[in-house]
Amino acid sequence: MRRKLAAGNWKMNGTGAALSELDLLAAKHPSPSLDILICPPAPLLHRAASAVENTSVSVGGQDCHADASGAHTGDISAEMLKDAGASAVILGHSERRVDHGERNEDVRAKARTVMDAGLQAIICVGESLEQRDVANTLDIIGGQLSGSIPDQSTGENLVVAYEPIWAIGTGKVPTLEEIGEVHDFIRARLERRFGEGVGRSVRLLYGGSVKPGNATEIFGVSNVDGALVGGASLKAEDFSGIIQALESI
């Protein structure tokens, strides 16, 4: 069956002092029954990878360029993230889609290089409140899935994160029925496109205001294989509570 995944996205938070949270986190979970991933800001990645070496915690990137190398000032390639110690890269987060105008085809191109580099792509999809209000959430998600996910995807190199934009950093969370509806839909879409074997092996994360207090009920929803956590991943104690909730399912 699918191995659960607790993924933390530190976003643009943390300097060297934050690395102690990784030590704490690894110490709290010496032999977890699931995967633990932290995606720190790029300048911390190499030090973060060293800090968690030989522990249960892995590290990843938050974005990368679609090209392998070249004249792209300020950008970072998938190979560079891998070289710094990353095993996964978050792609198409709504903050990238909104702040940097990333379109589905951009996310797909990035995912290809990430997969070609032997890393796992965590591809984010999610609707805005406006889109949910006019009740076309599944159309939006369906378009993002078909546009953002490359053909070479497998259960090993792809993770999909459902993150309703209105739930990110707001303390608002969809109902369990709403989460279940979208996750079942994503599963069905993946099975239709990639066949049952691959479709069933891809892990689906929920993201958006996941906290230790609401994690257990969210993890009880069908086709939720873990979480992509922003704010509550910054402190080892909070993230540990989420990991414990996921382990107990």
Catalytic residues: 93, 163
Rounded distance between C-alpha atoms, residue 174 and residue 115, angstroms: 31
Task: Examine residue 126 and tell whether it contacts ligand PGA (CB under 6 A).
Answer: no
Task: Examine residue 180 and tell whether it contacts ligand PGA (CB under 6 A).
Answer: no
Residues 6+ apart with CB under 8 A from 145: 125, 160, 186, 189, 190
Of residues 157, 209, 223, 240, which one binds ligand PGA by CB under 6 A? Answer: 209
Burial of 147 (0-12, 13-18, 19+ CB in 10 A): middle
First to last CA, the chain: 13
Site string for ligand PGA, 5-34 (x = CB under 6 A): ----x-------------------------
Residues 6+ apart with CB under 8 A from 70: none
Of residues 61, 150, 208, 241, which one binds ligand PGA by CB under 6 A? Answer: 208
Q: Which residue lies nearer to ligand PGA by CB, 89 or 228?
A: 228
Of residues 76, 210, 236, 242, which one binds ligand PGA by CB under 6 A? Answer: 210
Of residues 179, 228, 242, 243, which one binds ligand PGA by CB under 6 A? Answer: 228
Strands, E assignment, the chain: 5-9, 35-39, 57-61, 86-91, 120-125, 158-162, 203-207, 226-229
Task: Examine residue 106 and tell whether it contacts ligand PGA (CB under 6 A).
Answer: no
Q: Quickly count: other Cβ atoms within 10 Å of residue 1's Cβ.
A: 6
For the bound state, the minimum distance from the C-beta of residue 52 to ligand PGA, rounded and expressed in Å, comes to 20
Give me the residue whose beta carbon is nearest to ligand PGA.
230
For the bound state, the minimum distance from the C-beta of residue 138 to ligand PGA, rounded and expressed in Å, comes to 21
Secondary structure class of 135 (helix, strand, coil): coil
For the bound state, the minimum distance from the C-beta of residue 31 to ligand PGA, rounded and expressed in Å, comes to 26
For the bound state, the minimum distance from the C-beta of residue 231 to ligand PGA, rounded and expressed in Å, comes to 4
Site string for ligand PGA, 138-177 (x = CB under 6 A): -------------------------x----xx--------
Rounded distance between C-alpha atoms, residue 82 and residue 78, angstroms: 6
Task: Examine residue 240 and tell whether it contacts ligand PGA (CB under 6 A).
Answer: no
Q: Which residue lies nearer to ligand PGA by CB, 141 or 210?
A: 210
For the bound state, the minimum distance from the C-beta of residue 180 to ligand PGA, rounded and expressed in Å, comes to 19
Q: Let me know: does 143 contact 107? Beta carbons within 8 Å.
A: no
Burial of 31 (0-12, 13-18, 19+ CB in 10 A): exposed
Contact residues: ligand PGA, CB under 6 A: 9, 163, 168-169, 207-210, 228-232
